[in-house]
Amino acid sequence: MLKHLSINNYALIEQLEIDFSEKLNIITGETGAGKSILLGALSLILGQRADSKELSNKNKKCIIEATFQLNEKKFQSFFSENDIDFESESILRREINRDGKSRAFVNDTPVKLSTLKELGSMLVDVHSQREHQSLLKPAFQLAVLDAYAQNSTMLNDYKNTYNEFKRLETKLTGLMELEKESNARFDYLKFQFNELEEVNPQPNEQEELEKTFDLMTNSENIKAALNNTNQIINNREGSVLEELKYLLQQVGEQSKHHEGIGGIYERLNSTIIELDDINRETELLNNEIEYDQGKIQITQERLDAIYRLQNKHQVNTTADLIATKESIEGELNEITSLEDQITNTSNAFEEVKIELEEKAQYLSESRNSAISSLEEEIYYHLTELKMGSSSLKINLEQLVDGTYNTNGKDSVSWLFSANPGHPYKPLNQIASGGELSRIMLAIKASTAKVIHLPTLIFDEIDTGVSGEVAKKVGNLMRGMSENHQLITITHLPQIASQGQQHLKVFKQIKEGMTYTRLKELNDEERVEEIAQMIGGEDTSDIAIQNARELMDS
Q: What is the pLDDT of residue 235?
A: 66
Q: What is the pLDDT of residue 19?
A: 93
Exposure string of 98-121, with b = 16+ CB inside 10 Å and e = fewer, is eeeebebbbeeeebebebbeebbe
Query: What length is written for the chain?
Result: 553
Separation between Cα atoms, residue 529 and residue 521, nearest integer Å: 9
Q: What is the pLDDT of residue 129?
A: 64
List residues bridging with 456 in a β-sheet: 125, 486
Q: What is the pLDDT of residue 427?
A: 78
Q: What are the distances in angstroms from CA 442 to CA 72, 85, 374, 549, 553?
A: 29, 37, 10, 26, 21
Q: What is the pLDDT of residue 396?
A: 92
Handedness of CA 80, 85, 91, 94 (dihedral sign): negative
SS3 content of the chain, % helix, strand, coil (to 5): 60, 20, 25
Separation between Cα atoms, residue 126 and residue 519, nearest integer Å: 22
| Mean pLDDT (10-residue bins), the chain, 553 residues | 92 89 91 81 86 74 92 86 92 88 92 92 79 76 90 94 96 89 82 88 85 77 81 74 80 78 84 84 80 80 86 88 89 84 94 95 95 92 86 89 89 88 82 76 82 79 77 87 89 90 90 86 91 81 86 80
Separation between Cα atoms, residue 529 and residue 320, nearest integer Å: 86
* CB 128, CB 460: distance < 8 Å: yes
Contacts of 164 (CB under 8 A, 6+ apart): 352
**What does the DSSP assignment read for 244-300?**
HHHHHHHHHHHGGG-HHHHHHHHHHHHHHHHHHHHHHHHHHHHHH----HHHHHHHH
Q: What is the pLDDT of residue 52?
A: 66
Strand order, beta sheet including 13-19: 13-19, 2-10, 62-69, 89-96, 102-106, 109-111
Q: Which domains does the chain have, with CATH numbers?
A: 1-129+453-520 (3.40.50.300), 200-336 (no CATH)
List residues bridging with 94 in a β-sheet: 64, 104
Separation between Cα atoms, residue 502 and residue 20, nearest integer Å: 9
Radius of gyration of the chain (CA): 46
* CB 414, CB 426: distance < 8 Å: yes
CA angle at residue 465 from 519 to 477, to 5 degrees?
Answer: 55
